[in-house]
Amino acid sequence: MNAYDFEAQTLGGRPAPLADYRGQALLIVNTASKCGFTPQYAGLEALHRKFKDRGFSVLGFPCNQFGHQEPGQAAEIASFCSLTYDVSFPLMAKIDVNGPAAHPLYAWLKHEKKGLLGSEGVKWNFTKFLVSRDGQVKGRFGPATEPKAIEAAIEAVL
């Protein structure tokens, strides 16, 4: 099993098989528009633009499970990300990352790369999972890790 075996939906509601990204390195991030870490959208966009021509993409998964910090509907999320941070990386439909309704991709990511002290649960918005070109999880970075600090890890999987 690898990341390319999963499917998501775009923010616009269209199917988004991760197989479309086969051969690319990915940074998969649960995002929120009203979080103290929301300014990381700018850093994520910078990573996306810097490495996209080398086979890399950021995939954003809006999530409202932490402090209800992503209350908006798809159109509001898309507008906020575009107007505030000029986001060009793909944004998927809002999902749960923890609990019984967790998206299957996130259930797999968390199992593959556990957090502190072996915990699987995502602790907050802007937890980042780095996936190599072969679809394997190579890194997990907490919300406080700024996107720029992940550059070397991205270089290593490219």
Annotated active-site residue 81? The verdict is no
Helix 74-85 vs helix 40-51: angle between axes, to the nearest 10 degrees?
Answer: 80
Q: How many CB atoms lie under 10 A from the CB of residue 147? A: 22
Who's near 75: CB < 8 A, 6+ residues apart?
none
Task: Give the C-alpha separation, 45 to 102, whole Å.
Answer: 25
Task: Give the C-alpha separation, 131 to 14, whole Å.
Answer: 23
121 and 127 Cβ atoms separated by less than 8 Å: no
Catalytic residue of the set 8, 27, 29, 35:
35
Residues belonging to the active site: 35
